[in-house]
Amino acid sequence: MSADERCLGDRLARGDGEALGALYAMYGSLVFAVALKLTKDRAEAEELVQETFLEAWQRAAQYQPERANVAAWLVTITRSRAIDRLRARGTVSRTLEVESRDVTEPPTRPDELVDSKRLRGEVRTRVARLPSEQRALLELAWDEGLSQREIAERTGLPLGTVKTRTRTALLALHADLKSLGAGG
C-alpha cells in the first residue's frame, strides 16, 4: 500500500471529507466498472458507487490496511452491496445468463474507455497466469458472485483453504498490477 493511500485511509477515518473526494477520484472508475459488471445496469451501478463510498465513509475507522489495500476494500464493499441487491431482487439465479451479455454502453469519456479496456486486458492476462486452483476460485467469486462460503460448498474445499487461496491470488494480482499503477 502506498503512503498516499495509507494517509488517505487515516484521513478518512478521522472524518476528512476531502480524503473521501480524493479516494473517489482515484477509485471511482474502478468501483463503477465492478458495479456495472455485476448489475449490468448503468443506473444501478451509479447507485452502487454512491453506496460504496458512503459505506467507506461510515466504516472508515474499521478499515484495516494490513488486510487489504483501499482499492480491494472498496471493491469488496461494492461486490457485497451488488450481491445484496441481486439477492433482494431474486436474480442471482439469472446472473449467469446476464453475465454472458456484454455491456455495450462505454464509459462517458474516450480516455476512460481506453484505460478501462487496457486495465481489463491486463487483469485478464495476469489472472490467466495464476495457478489454476487460485484462478478457479477468483472466477467463481467474480463471474458468479459467490461468497467464499458458497465457493467452499460448491468446490468441497474447506473454507479456510478457499480464504487462503483467494487471499494469496489477490495479493499476487495486487503485486503484479501495482507496476501498472492499477493496484494502488
Q: CA–CA separation, 108 vs 154, rounded Å? A: 38
Contact indicator for 145, 153 with CB cutoff of 8 Å = no
Q: What is the pLDDT along the chain (184 residues), one digit of tens a residue?
A: 566 777 777 787 777 778 888 888 888 999 999 998 888 888 889 999 999 999 988 888 887 777 778 888 899 999 989 888 877 766 444 444 444 444 444 444 555 545 556 666 777 788 888 898 988 888 888 777 778 888 888 889 998 898 888 888 888 877 776 665 544 4
- Are the CB atoms for 21 and 30 separated by under 8 Å? no
